[in-house]
Amino acid sequence: MEFQLDHAKEILRRTPATLNSLLRHLPEEWALSNEGPESWSPFDVVGHLIHGEEADWIPRAKIIMEYGEKRTFEPFDRFAMFEKSRGQSLGDLLDRFEQLRGESLKELEGMNLRPEMLGKRGMHPELGVVTLSHLLSTWVVHDLSHIGQVVKVMAKQYTEAVGAWQVYLSVLRR
Amino acid sequence: MEFQLDHAKEILRRTPATLNSLLRHLPEEWALSNEGPESWSPFDVVGHLIHGEEADWIPRAKIIMEYGEKRTFEPFDRFAMFEKSRGQSLGDLLDRFEQLRGESLKELEGMNLRPEMLGKRGMHPELGVVTLSHLLSTWVVHDLSHIGQVVKVMAKQYTEAVGAWQVYLSVLRR
């Protein structure tokens, strides 16, 4: 499928509500359990998404619009949330994400992107040349992929509890 | 994590809202696109979840409560929705799922399950002996796993659109 800005916005707009519905007021052991060492809990994922709003998507889109390939993006810290989320509740993080996502979408709206601007090029510190439409598509896929991570981590808490059904549930082996 | 009935209900209760937030009024090409031959679209997944409410979870729980291991469950048709969903809109299916899930949870509530009843045994046509708590845990994991499938299928529509970012997005290779 080709990137379509209105579709992308439509999906990005939904993510806070999806996370609210999955996670808000969930018993803490579900929100804080991960898949073992080096893995992320739903709480960690929401923190990571917050950091993406602050340091990744719109900031990088602006760099592309202003500087094109001449200014390489700042590397994105995938683990920043372990420090930044400390002391906050899951409800705090969900609120913050909802607020930031709303602001990001307003900024995106304000860019008045015409189709011919989507091919504008930028410079990723590891991947090299990318385009604005690659960046915005990645934002969409990144959201969806982390929603998938949240439900996978939750599902895995019941790996033993499902008994013999384990063999049918491939999510438990990923 | 051990199965806890109140936690399970809390998660099962959320699934209609999560699917609404992900899918309702989504452009049709997102709701109807799958991952290629033999794979399911978000539309198919919602149809499958509907069939689960009608033919799997509560019906099997009742068989366990009434007959124990003496009556083997009916095999569950994983593909029933391809026929049953025909001619319906995604909105129809989301409405129907929400209604059925509400009824299922009421029935579950009405069973007044005490902890000692969760170990009650039933007979699965392929897996052999299972317990009521295995069944209810599987219901939870099944929900979460199909939410994961929905977001994975959606993410994959942008496999090409993300350009060089493909290498970072493992969801696109599952």
Single out the residue of A140, A71, B53 nearest to residue B61, CA to CA: B53
The pLDDT score that the predictor gives to residue A24 is 97
Handedness of CA A169, B82, B76, B107 (dihedral sign): positive
Query: What part of B 26-65 touches A (C-beta under 8 Å)?
Result: 26-27, 29-30, 33
B9 touches chain A (CB under 8 A): no
Across all residues in chain B, what is the average pLDDT?
96
B10 touches chain A (CB under 8 A): yes
Average pLDDT over residues A162-168: 97
Question: Considering CB atoms only, which of B18, B144, B158 is closest to A141?
Answer: B158
Condensed to tens digits (0 to 9), the pLDDT of residues A38-97 reads 899 999 999 999 999 999 999 999 999 999 999 999 998 888 888 888 899 999 999 999
Residue A114 has φ and ψ, to the nearest 5°, of -90, 155
Q: Does the structure show a pLDDT above 90 at B61?
A: yes
Q: Is the reported ipTM for this assembly greater than 0.85? A: yes
Q: Does the structure show a pLDDT above 90 at B174?
A: no
pLDDT band at A174 (very low <50, low <70, confident <90, very high): confident
Single out the residue of B101, B105, B92 nearest to residue B49, CA to CA: B101
Q: Does the structure show a pLDDT above 90 at B82?
A: no
Are A130 and A137 in contact by the 8 Å Cβ rule? The answer is no
Query: Which is higher by pLDDT, A130 or B81?
Result: A130
The pLDDT score that the predictor gives to residue A78 is 86
Across all residues in chain A, what is the average pLDDT?
96
Residue B50 has φ and ψ, to the nearest 5°, of -60, -45
Condensed to tens digits (0 to 9), the pLDDT of residues B6-37 reads 999 999 999 999 999 999 999 999 999 999 99
Q: Does the structure show a pLDDT above 90 at B81?
A: no
Share of residues in chain A with pLDDT > 90 (%): 92
A123 touches chain B (CB under 8 A): no
Please tell me the distance from the alpha carbon of residue A93 to that of residue A43, in angstroms, as a whole number: 8
Share of residues in chain A with pLDDT > 70 (%): 100
* DSSP secondary structure letter of residue A20: H
The pLDDT score that the predictor gives to residue A26 is 95
The pLDDT score that the predictor gives to residue A34 is 95
